[in-house]
Structure 1
Amino acid sequence: MLQPVLVIGAGQAGLAAGYHLQKAGVTFVIVDAGRRIGDNWRARYDALTLFTPRQFSSLPGLEFIGNRELYPDRDEFAAYLETYAGRFGLPVRLGHAVARLVQIDGGAFEATFQNGQTIEACDVIVATGGFQVPIVPDLVGRFGNAVLQLTSATYRNPQQLPDGPVLIVGDGASGRDIAIECRKLQPVILAAGKPRKLFPERLLGKSIWWWLDLTGALRAPADSWIGRRLKRADAFPDRANGNASLEKRGIRIVPRLVDASGNEARFADGSSANIRTVIWAVGYRDDSSWLKVPEATDQNGMFLHREGVSPMKGLYFVGRPWQRNRASALIMGAGPDAEQIVAQLLGHRQEAAAR
């Protein structure tokens, strides 16, 4: 059966796309590999909380209930996504992991799922998110077998770790959160990369996100002066996880990890440490192995698009980091980006019909 629009992914980006497709009267279906809506959030580490407070963590049409100033945890947000899909009756097919997407005769697309089923669609919106495959540097092979190695995707809580020093590689939000949690049970070393600037969590009694939204900084185009500065800084709120706070908790902060041998880690300043566990928290890369559409990816497998519009006609993206601006990587950006993509999709259809 031909579905006019196929949305791949039932996270916040996919559900926001569904909301705007439904509002526009377009027939569509959303597919997701999980058994439940929100499973992509439930699969992450236990202590995860959102970057943004509830007042900036809603999708279009449904407010996130609770204290507007506090940060929801992963399970709260997963439940919100489930509620959202049910509230609007969005057509979601769970347990449908896309194994292959190809373009077929007439310019339509065919998705083949791991369960063997297929769906054909005139247009496809890829909403698989920016947290797909954890990046693991080549240094992983230089540690000995006695060192337990995890990623920010396989780490759950400190109870799964053996006794002994823990090295967290990567000082982003996840790396800092995990370092704080692990320090409750084990000695912790945090290996940083480039100098990291953090936003103050609050300014004059207001959330920093309130100020960034008010000033328009979050909506500044990626190629604007403000956008370039925000992208270069890659800052996030200091929620008692700045360097000084970490050091007060007894977490040792060291420069970049440059080498390893056995259970010894060596750092850029010449120092070293014997460690028992390494947790890699250096970011994620796209998994585009299933996307067999010409011009949809570059030679490194990165998705190609301009503000969510692929060079390949009929293919779109929602939920890409810096898709249009800083908000694109946040919950608050999913709705506006999805609205813009649905408008582009409908515009392209009208142009085709007029020819």
Structure 2
Amino acid sequence: MERHVLVIGAGQAGLAAGYHLRRAGMAFTIVDAARRVGDSWRRRYDGLTLFTPRQFSALPGMELPGNREGYPDRDEFADYLEAYAVRSNLPILLEREVVRLIKADGGFEANFPQGETLRASDVIVATGAFQRPLVPRVARDFGTDVLQLTTETFRNPMQVPDGPVLVVGDGASGRDIAVECRSTQPVLLATGKPRRLLPERILGKSIWWWLRLTGVLKAPASSFIGRKLKETDAFPDRGRSNAALEQRGIRIVPRLVGAEPGRARFSDSDTAEIRTVIWATGYRDDTSWLDMAEAKTADGGFVHAAGISRVKGLYFVGRPWQRNRASALIMGAGEDAALIVQSIISTAPSRSSETGDRTELERPRCP
């Protein structure tokens, strides 16, 4: 089988992989289920902004235009990804959702809903960490009169009916959504583990500048620093500390432990009447399409070591803590992708594909 790489996902991780595959002269195809590059960002809530400034939110080879110290919003970054794909001349097939990936003839075969198939010698999974929102079992106890949304289905406060809003999950998205909803309704924010927020700037420099300078972002997950970062899951304050939220009139409550129709119960035994719940409790992977038991854990998660699967020829880019804290950030996608592409090159039996010829294997027909 000639060397041809299939990249699944045209988000920042998949585009970074494409950039390095192009530089290496390898034949490859990127597929994505969306109609446009960047749509995974356009589907998120209206007020979303990245928590890394523009200078730390760019992919290799192309700066993100605008104030380097400012934070890009959802649509700005989605449009940047689309422009990046064009500028990098990446071979992308859109509206191609991989519904099954199997091993076949010494490589892999991807199946699409249209009945098409694509064969590849190597596969890079770049589907991202935001696939299926997590909704705990307690959700069913709120009853039918409580509107329930997730970070995937919440768009803006106009969706929310009159009455108290409970945001469950105090990560960056949960805190942002709580602030948005407070503009129209009373809001409670249910917290979880102790959360440490980092100062946005130190001595006039972005906290990300300092974290990169000191090497903290590159600390392996197994290191002391890496373990501490994972435990705290810290992110910049940007006016989202508990004290700042309380000044806005948001009520900070402890962990949600129970519910009954129209009412929430918290770990301090206090209760509150609720009209809307917005779940900001994280995401889980959707691996149902990956038809390789050895590539997954017993509960369906991806198995890899620094992005390299135990299935020969299968790789990952953009996984949380793939190598370090930067792996799940846009600033880390390029470096992780470069290492994975280098790993693919190092396993090549020959360098014949480096001419850049696009000899794709059973490539699906474009409409």
Q: Tell me the SS of whatever aligns to 2:80.
A: helix
Deviation by residue 1:296-318 (Cα, 9 ceiling, x = unmatched): 11111100000000000000000
* Superposition deviation, residue 226 in structure 1: 1.1
Partner AA of 2:284 in structure 1: R
1:68 aligns with 2:68: yes
Which residues in structure 2 correspond to 1:251-330 (within 5 Å)? 251-330=250-329
* Superposition deviation, residue 221 in structure 1: 1.1
Q: For 2:244 and 2:3, locate their aligned partners in 1 and report how far apart those are by CA, in whole Å.
A: 52
What number of residue pairs does the alignment pair up?
352
Which position in structure 2 is the counterpart of 1:178? 177
Distance 1:270 1:36, change over 3 A: same
Q: For 2:336 and 2:154, locate their aligned partners in 1 and report how far apart those are by CA, in whole Å.
A: 31
Q: For 1:294 and 1:164, locate their aligned partners in 2 and report how far apart those are by CA, in whole Å.
A: 46
Partner AA of 1:95 in structure 2: E
Which residues in structure 2 correspond to 1:146-161 (within 5 Å)? 146-161=145-160
Deviation by residue 1:108-153 (Cα, 9 ceiling, x = unmatched): 1000012221100000000000000000000011011000000011
* Superposition deviation, residue 294 in structure 1: 3.0
Q: For 1:18 and 1:314, locate their aligned partners in 2 and report how far apart those are by CA, in whole Å.
A: 16
Which position in structure 1 is the counterpart of 2:20? 20
Partner AA of 1:62 in structure 2: M
* Ranges in structure 2 where 5+ consecutive residues have no aligned partner: 353-367
* Superposition deviation, residue 225 in structure 1: 1.3
Partner AA of 2:249 in structure 1: G
Partner AA of 2:132 in structure 1: V
Q: Tell me the SS of whatever aligns to 1:46.
A: coil
Distance 1:191 1:144, change over 3 A: same
1:331 aligns with 2:330: yes
1:191 aligns with 2:215: no
Which residues in structure 2 correspond to 1:66-215 (within 5 Å)? 66-105=66-105, 107-215=106-214
Partner AA of 2:28 in structure 1: F
Contact 2:194 2:232 in 1 (8 A): no
Which position in structure 1 is the counterpart of 2:355? none
Calculate the aligned-residue CA RMSD, in Å.
1.4
Which position in structure 2 is the counterpart of 1:11? 11
Q: For 1:294 and 1:192, locate their aligned partners in 2 and report how far apart those are by CA, in whole Å.
A: 36
Contact 2:166 2:188 in 1 (8 A): yes
Deviation by residue 1:222-271 (Cα, 9 ceiling, x = unmatched): 11111111111100000000000000000000000000000010000010
Q: Tell me the SS of whatever aligns to 1:295.
A: helix
Q: For 2:285 and 2:251, locate their aligned partners in 1 and report how far apart those are by CA, in whole Å.
A: 31
Q: For 1:343 and 1:223, locate their aligned partners in 2 and report how far apart those are by CA, in whole Å.
A: 23
Q: For 1:24 and 1:337, locate their aligned partners in 2 and report how far apart those are by CA, in whole Å.
A: 15
Distance 1:259 1:352, change over 3 A: farther
Partner AA of 1:8 in structure 2: I
Partner AA of 2:56 in structure 1: F
Q: For 1:75 and 1:233, locate their aligned partners in 2 and report how far apart those are by CA, in whole Å.
A: 29
* Superposition deviation, residue 276 in structure 1: 0.3
Partner AA of 2:275 in structure 1: R
Partner AA of 1:118 in structure 2: T
- Using the size of structure 1 for normalisation, the TM-score is 0.97
Which position in structure 2 is the counterpart of 1:218? 217
Partner AA of 2:130 in structure 1: F
Which position in structure 1 is the counterpart of 2:59? 59
Q: For 2:76 and 2:223, locate their aligned partners in 1 and report how far apart those are by CA, in whole Å.
A: 35
Q: For 1:71 and 1:90, locate their aligned partners in 2 and report how far apart those are by CA, in whole Å.
A: 26
* Superposition deviation, residue 3 in structure 1: 6.8
- Using the size of structure 2 for normalisation, the TM-score is 0.94
Q: For 2:19 and 2:338, locate their aligned partners in 1 and report how far apart those are by CA, in whole Å.
A: 9
Q: For 2:212 and 2:349, locate their aligned partners in 1 and report how far apart those are by CA, in whole Å.
A: 33
Q: For 1:350 and 1:215, locate their aligned partners in 2 and report how far apart those are by CA, in whole Å.
A: 39
Partner AA of 2:91 in structure 1: P
Deviation by residue 1:306-341 (Cα, 9 ceiling, x = unmatched): 000000000000000000000001000000000000
* Ranges in structure 1 where 5+ consecutive residues have no aligned partner: none
* Superposition deviation, residue 104 in structure 1: 1.1
Q: For 2:15 and 2:263, locate their aligned partners in 1 and report how far apart those are by CA, in whole Å.
A: 45
Partner AA of 2:53 in structure 1: P
Contact 2:13 2:337 in 1 (8 A): yes
* Superposition deviation, residue 350 in structure 1: 4.3
Q: For 2:110 and 2:268, locate their aligned partners in 1 and report how far apart those are by CA, in whole Å.
A: 50
Contact 1:3 1:119 in 2 (8 A): no
Q: For 1:250 and 1:188, locate their aligned partners in 2 and report how far apart those are by CA, in whole Å.
A: 8
Q: Tell me the SS of whatever aligns to 1:98.
A: coil
